[in-house]
Structure 1
């Protein structure tokens, strides 16, 4: 079982969309039984909440339902339990590194580093912006999910 965790600040916009697009990529490849996929936030401000309505709507119009997800904060056990931990931006990656034991820090990367053809390295936070920001994040998440899945398939011989 390959465990993958997507992380943003509040776990209501970017990481839920990343989780949804990655789940879709895994399903399209017939690999659902080989993955555990989740998302979390570096803060617990929205713990227990569903993703932002704009994130749900953007995902839904693209054929992915993320409405069943619930926000949670990253826990210390996540660093041991997950094989791949994908941060949406440098701030969240820095926060993850500051809490992660040294022996697990190799698991943490920027999510968009798995889509090197994109002109950005960090997933912009669409929370305070317009709906177009959610569309851009969703599309970037699709590209990064494909790149990440290809990497995992190679590394894990799937």
Structure 2
């Protein structure tokens, strides 16, 4: 089982959006038994809260489930559980790399590393920008490319 963890600051906007989108793409390709996803934040302000209303609204608009999702904080134990830790921006990468403990078996990358031709290198935080549509578009493309990368790297057969 390949495990992917999406990380942002508070785990209420970008990372739960990415988790939900990625899960939907994995399920649509018939790969739920081979790939799992979760999300976490580097901060603890929103632990136990559901995704931000803006995130919920855009996911509903695209008929993507976020059922049961609650914010949690990244833990050092996550490094041994996840193959990919996909961060939304450089600050998240820095915060993830500064967490002590735990063996670092995970690949720590930015979401937009999977979309190298895009001029934006980070996914803006809609908590501050208010632009959940822009975030959705970037995360959706990043998730599509990440899934493609994993399928190619792990020789998984996608059911189209």
Q: Is TM > 0.5 for Structure 1 vs Structure 2?
A: yes
1:86 touches 1:108 (CA, 8 Å); kept in 2? yes
Partner secondary structure for residue 142 of structure 2: helix
Instruction: Please list every run of 5 or more consecutive structure 1 residues that lacks an aligned counterpart in the other structure.
Output: none
TM-score, normalisation: structure 2: 0.92
Separation (CA, whole Å) in 2 of partners of 1:112 and 1:73: 22
1:97 touches 1:105 (CA, 8 Å); kept in 2? no
Match of 2:126 in 1: 126
Match of 2:109 in 1: 109
Match of 1:38 in 2: 38
2:80 touches 2:103 (CA, 8 Å); kept in 1? no
Provide the aligned C-alpha RMSD in A.
1.5
Match of 1:92 in 2: 92
Partner secondary structure for residue 137 of structure 2: helix
Instruction: Please list every run of 5 or more consecutive structure 2 residues that lacks an aligned counterpart in the other structure.
Output: none
Match of 2:8 in 1: 8
1:8 touches 1:15 (CA, 8 Å); kept in 2? yes
Which structure is higher in helix share? Answer: 1
- The offset of 1:147, in angstroms, is 0.6
Q: Would you identify which runs of 4 or more consecutive aligned residues in structure 1 move more than 6 Å?
A: none
Separation (CA, whole Å) in 2 of partners of 1:69 and 1:89: 21
Structural mapping, 1:1-80, within 5 Å: 1-80=1-80
TM-score, normalisation: structure 1: 0.93
Between 1:43-52 and 1:100-109, the stretch displaced more is: 100-109
- The offset of 1:128, in angstroms, is 2.4
